[in-house]
Amino acid sequence: MIAAFDPAASAYDREFTFSRIGMAQRHQVWRYLDPLLNTPAMEVLELNCGTGIDAVHIARAGHHVLATDISAEMLKIARDTARQHGVEDNIHHETLAFHELPLRNWNARFQLALSDFGGLNCIDHDDLGALCDPVADALDLNGRFVAVLMPDRCLSETIYFLLKGEWSEAFRRRRHDPVWAGLSGSGVHTWYHSPRAVISAFRHRFRVVNIRPIGFFIPPSHMEPAFRTRPHLLDRLNRWDERLGHWRWPARYADHFLIDMERKA
């Protein structure tokens, strides 16, 4: 998996983070996170931090972040991003894979854990369940785990590919086997997890606080070229997403969904 993400690191920000679609979806996540960040300084564990833009947002709110990722190249960019924003003292970056989490003993050090934009889609359901205990053990009692994943349905993507006559692509998320998702210069196996599957994987240590759609009307980032000359349309779709964001039922049919879980006793 490391080999898949290292070559893509240099293009990730251009193709997703700072794309119109990527920024619109990320700001939907931040609107949900910001009330959680409106607290005294917390210790935050970020999984699959990528190029570090979420860690910067959290650090600028006054918190300390341990930002982890499997890709050393992603972390190099993340460190540069932290320096550019003047928050390098509040962020520690560390190379860490999901399967290494059980080897760490943080003794309930963190009040918040975050996995943003599909990092958990890089593992299958069994490995997803294996994360439950190590993430719970890293959190204080009543600590929160906020994860953003791609579900096994996406209405806008299905319609898009049906209109293009690409039937296999239209329903690719419903497959039980992993889908090969292209990245710049590489690719990665991707599993699509329904909200119910995530709840099942974490239910013995967490209770669900909330589930939200992220990008129900805002489409997946691979559709960015279709919106480059239509910024006003994208703004309108974003406003529709804001109105729909308090409802749970669209979560399974959006490009991503956010699930907020609280660690139980």
Work out the pLDDT band at 178, boundaries 50, 70, 90.
confident
Mean pLDDT of the 17-45 span: 93
Contact assessment for residue 114 and residue 135, using Cβ atoms and an 8 Å cutoff: no
Q: Is the pLDDT of residue 126 over 90?
A: yes
- Tens of pLDDT, residue by residue over 59-78, are 999 999 999 999 999 999 99
Rounded CA-CA distance 137/113 in Å is 11
In whole numbers, what is the pLDDT of the chain averaged over residues?
Answer: 91
> Could you tell me which residues come within 8 angstroms of residue 43 by beta carbon, excluding any fewer than 6 positions away?
63, 64, 66, 109, 110, 111, 112
Angle at 81 between CA 79 and CA 84, to 5 degrees: 110
The answer for 124, left when phi > 0, alpha when psi is -120 to 50, beta otherwise, is beta
Q: Would you call 187 helix, strand, or coil by DSSP? A: strand
In angstroms, the CA 240 to CA 142 distance is 32
**Across residues 46-59, what is the average pLDDT?**
97
Fill in the amino acid letter for 121. Answer: N
Query: Can you read off the two tokens belonging to residue 169?
Result: 């692509």
> Is the pLDDT reported for residue 186 higher than 60?
no
The answer on pLDDT for 112 being more than 60 is yes
- Residue 86's pLDDT is what? 98
